[in-house]
């Protein structure tokens, strides 16, 4: 990425004009985390102890749907909690975004709680679970 692009993104974040969208890729961006950092890694975690048909083992949505339909929703919930259990620390990006005073919103589209951990040091934030 060019320096001017990075500076433009930084300026937009500092001015409160950009809304970061954080997905699973944040965990694979140099962070040393035991948490699943992709749909494929999460599918592998879900299916390592729960048997699903071979042809859907690597498809997260199909595997989760199969487990919910044939094993029960509690099984999916328990597997998700186990997959994201651990003492992972917020990444440098999470901490950077939490330190921005004018950031209006952060969209978090993964199953970890790292943005919430990073924001915990702030007193002026709220979490909306969709």
Of the chain, the percentage scoring pLDDT greater than 90 comes to: 65
**6-47 pLDDT per residue, tens:** 999 999 999 999 999 999 888 876 555 789 999 999 999 999
Scanning 53-91, the segments in alpha helix (DSSP H) are: 60-70, 73-83
Nearest residue to 71 (alpha-carbon basis) of 56, 51, 53: 51
Within this chain, do residues 101 and 113 fall inside the same structural domain, yes or no? yes
* In a shared domain, residues 21 and 45: no
Domain housing 56: 36-83
Q: How many domains does the chain have?
A: 2
Tokens linked to 34: 């035991």
Same domain flag for 24 and 10: yes
Instruction: Give the tokens for residue 9.
Output: 């993104």
pLDDT band at 123 (very low <50, low <70, confident <90, very high): confident
pLDDT of residue 103: 87
Nearest to 36 by CA among 89, 112, 106: 112
């Amino acid at each position: 990425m060019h320096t001017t692009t990075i500076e433009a993104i930084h300026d937009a974040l500092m001015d409160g004009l950009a809304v970061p969208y954080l997905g699973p890729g944040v965990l694979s961006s140099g962070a040393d985390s035991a948490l699943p950092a992709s749909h494929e890694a999460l599918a592998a975690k879900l299916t390592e102890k729960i048997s699903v048909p071979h042809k859907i083992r690597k498809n997260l949505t199909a595997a989760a749907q199969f487990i919910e339909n044939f094993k029960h929703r509690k099984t999916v919930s328990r597997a998700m909690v186990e997959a994201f259990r651990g003492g992972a620390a917020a990444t440098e990006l999470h901490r950077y975004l939490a330190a921005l005073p004018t950031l209006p919103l952060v969209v978090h589209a993964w199953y970890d709680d790292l943005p919430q951990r990073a924001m915990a040091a702030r007193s002026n934030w709220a979490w909306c679970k969709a």
